[in-house]
Structure 1
Amino acid sequence: MPLINNISLIAVVPAAGVGKRMLSDCPKQYLTIGGRTIIEHTLERLLSHSMIKEVIVVLGKEDGYFAHLNIASHPQIRTVYGGKERVDSVLAGLKVIDSVKYPWVLVHDAARPCVKLTDIDSLISHCIATEQGGLLGYPVRDTMKRSEDSGVVLSTIERERLWHALTPQMYKVTDLIQSIEVGFDKGLTITDESSAIEAFGLPSTLIESRSDNIKITRPDDLALAEFILTNQMEEK
């Protein structure tokens, strides 16, 4: 592993979504696990990494929750307003970064509180050593099916070389801004940072992550995330 201790990074956390699949009265990032909101768990995990000097939290303009959290006053937290889609919020966060001082950025989901610092280390090490961006992921283990809208199976997809794309995703700030803006101009659907980078023709490498780096999307994910976080505390 190359020496990365002298690297300083900014993390962008898009948090303007409403999380409709959680079927809750508030955006999913404000649901609680162990007395703290999901986003607090996520931000505390990022801020505990020695190379992350600031986290930019991108909020919806109607957000009425974040300002009331204790972590909102953390000196390494900055907030900006995002847009309708996740990619709009990511771009809003990128635009306030001093890319000369902080040439690299990590983008991480607000509802992914279980990422391990060792996985972030692996991602940073690879990107710095190769001067290429990348993302955390883990290989698909189950048989994959493609279906019709009705759920009827159309085909079985070969799972070899298929990965679940996770976050953080790490790229050079200027590359990511340009990739997103060109994608907008072309009318592309940008589902994550890697998809913008790929469409722009730049390399992006998958770095294998622990599979417990889950994204809380549905109601039963809350109990699973609480279980994972408890186990991670016991690992220390």
Structure 2
Amino acid sequence: MTSPKLWLIVPAAGIGQRMQADCPKQYLRIDNRFILDITLSRLLNTGLFAGCMVPLNTEDQYWPSTDASADGRIQTCSGGVERADSVLSALRALPGQVADDDWVLVHDAARPCIHAADLTNLVSTLSDHPVGGLLAAPVPDTLKRAESSQLPEVIETVDRSQLWRALTPQMFRYSMLANALESALKAGQPVTDESSAMEFSGNMPLLVEGRPDNIKITVPTDLDLAGFILSRF
């Protein structure tokens, strides 16, 4: 019996409104390289994946300028309005040889600081798990709940002992993930990541502790921080 293969999906159809930039955040540069190129090369250079699918915005004009566009290991497809739509589109666009029990790893395009050791630990930890899971980091800060207002006041301090930050990659079986996303979208259930879709389907993912510096570039100050982190690898 052959071992399940690993497939990579890196959704890149977002426009990154919070970055306040002239282009989507995955096409900003760190040391003169597109963030998307850094992310894809760090993942694919591990040699773990049988293939990679990158869902793109239908109006994307930056992809042809990337190094990744000339990489034979990478295929593209049309993304959707929301992340879940893009991931589902990518699942459907993966090659026909993908088996139901193959693993699919979904990683944020704007999370270039993924460390190879975290990736290999995730894969080895989940290899025999019935559901799958995701990289995550325990919340280190004191958390406050506040009322929604222009000047929010603290309502309470929240117990952080059981709280984790969800990171990526998130790793699930091909058929289980596709079914979970389809069910959640059909039910109008908010899907902020693949794990939330799996949870909605009643399949509880495993948390695999990863490095807290696996940051997602979301606001302008994250760009310098990511550049510093990458310079230390």
SS of 1:62's equivalent in the other structure is coil
User: Under a length normalisation based on structure 1, what TM-score does the superposition of the two structures give?
Assistant: 0.93
Cα distance between partner residues in 2 of 1:222 and 1:59: 22
Match of 2:53 among 41, 56, 73: 56
Aligned-partner residue type, residue 129 of structure 2:
T
Q: Which stretches of structure 1, 4 residues or longer, exceed 6 Å deviation after superposition?
A: none
Q: Which amino acid aligns with 2:138?
A: P
Q: In the alignment, which residue of structure 1 is the partner of 2:154?
A: 153
Report how far residue 142 of structure 1 moved: 0.3
Paired residues of 1:47 and 1:53 also in contact (CA < 8 A):
no
Matched, 1:46 2:47: no
CA–CA separation in structure 2 for the residues paired with 1:177 and 1:70: 29
Who is 1:212 aligned against? 213
| 2:144 counterpart letter in structure 1 | K
Q: Distance in 2 between matches of 1:38 and 1:102?
A: 31
| Aligned-pair CA distance for 1:213 | 0.3
Comparing 128-137 and 171-180, the one that deviates more: 128-137
Give the distance between the partners of 1:75 and 1:130, measured in 2 at CA.
Answer: 31
- Equivalent residue number for residue 100 of structure 1: 99
Displacement of 1:101 in angstroms is 7.9
Which SS does the other structure have where 1:15 is aligned?
coil
Query: In structure 2, what is the equivalent of residue 11 of structure 1?
Result: 8
Cα distance between partner residues in 2 of 1:141 and 1:106 = 26
8 A Cα contact 1:10 1:102, kept in partner = no
Q: Shift in Å at residue 69 of structure 1?
A: 1.4
Shift of 1:7: 5.6
Residue correspondence of structure 1 range 108-127 to structure 2 within 5 A? 108-127=107-126
Summarize deviations over 1:156-196 as a string: whole Å, max 9, x none. 11001100000000000100010011111211001100000
Structure 1 position 20 matched with structure 2 position 17: yes
Query: Structure 2 CA distance, aligned partners of 1:119 and 1:70?
Result: 24
1:82-131 CA distances to partner (integer Å, 9 max, x unpaired)?
11111110110111224318711000000000011111111111211323
Task: For structure 1, list consecutive stretches of 5 or more residues without a partner in the other structure.
Answer: 1-5
Corresponding residue for residue 136 of structure 2:
137
Question: Which residue identity does 1:231 align to in structure 2?
Answer: R
* RMSD after superposition: 1.3
The one-letter code of the counterpart of 1:124 is V
**Which letter does structure 2 place at the counterpart of 1:32?**
R
Verify the 8 A CA contact 1:7 1:51 in the aligned structure 2. Answer: no
What code does the residue aligned with 2:135 have?
L
Query: Which stretches in structure 2 are left out of the alignment for 5+ residues?
Result: none
Q: Is the 8 A contact 1:9 1:102 kept in 2?
A: no
Deviates more, 1:208-217 or 1:118-127: 118-127
Residues of 2 paired with 1:67 and 1:131: CA distance? 39
| Contact 1:8–1:53 (8 Å) recurs in 2 | yes
Counterpart amino acid of 2:55? V
Identity rate of aligned residues, in percent? 46
